[in-house]
Structure formats: C-alpha cells, structure tokens
Amino acid sequence: MQNQVTKQYRPLQVADSLGISISTFWRLVKNGEIKTNKLTTRTTTVSEVELARFINSKIGA
C-alpha cells in the first residue's frame, strides 16, 4: 500500500481561504474545530483533508 501525500496549508493560507482572521483561526484550533499538524517547533500546517472536513461540517454536507 502506498502512502498518500496530502497538501498542507499554513495557518494564514487557511484563514485567507475561509475569509476569517488569523485570531479566529487560532480560536477554532483551540476549540478543537480545526486539527493542525506540527512539522517543526515553528511550523504548523492544516492538511487538505482536514480543511475539507471542517468546511463540510460547517455547510452541513
């Protein structure tokens, strides 16, 4: 079985694509609504799959 690589987005990219502020993004992370990945101590990302899951949960799909 092959490992599937998914695209990763930085927090500012996610906030911009959702039309929210960066502080709102971090609030959603803190509340557990968006799950992030820690690549290094200074690099946080959100996977494409997680972003789609969050969007679908908000639009009721």
Per-residue pLDDT of the chain (61 residues; tens, 9 = 90+): 566 778 999 999 999 999 999 999 999 999 999 999 999 999 999 999 999 999 999 988 6
The one-letter code for the residue type at 36 is T
* pLDDT score, position 10: 97
* Radius of gyration of the chain from its Cα atoms, rounded to whole angstroms: 12
- In this structure, what token pair is assigned to residue 33? 């609504």
What's this model's pTM, rounded to 2 decimal places?
0.86
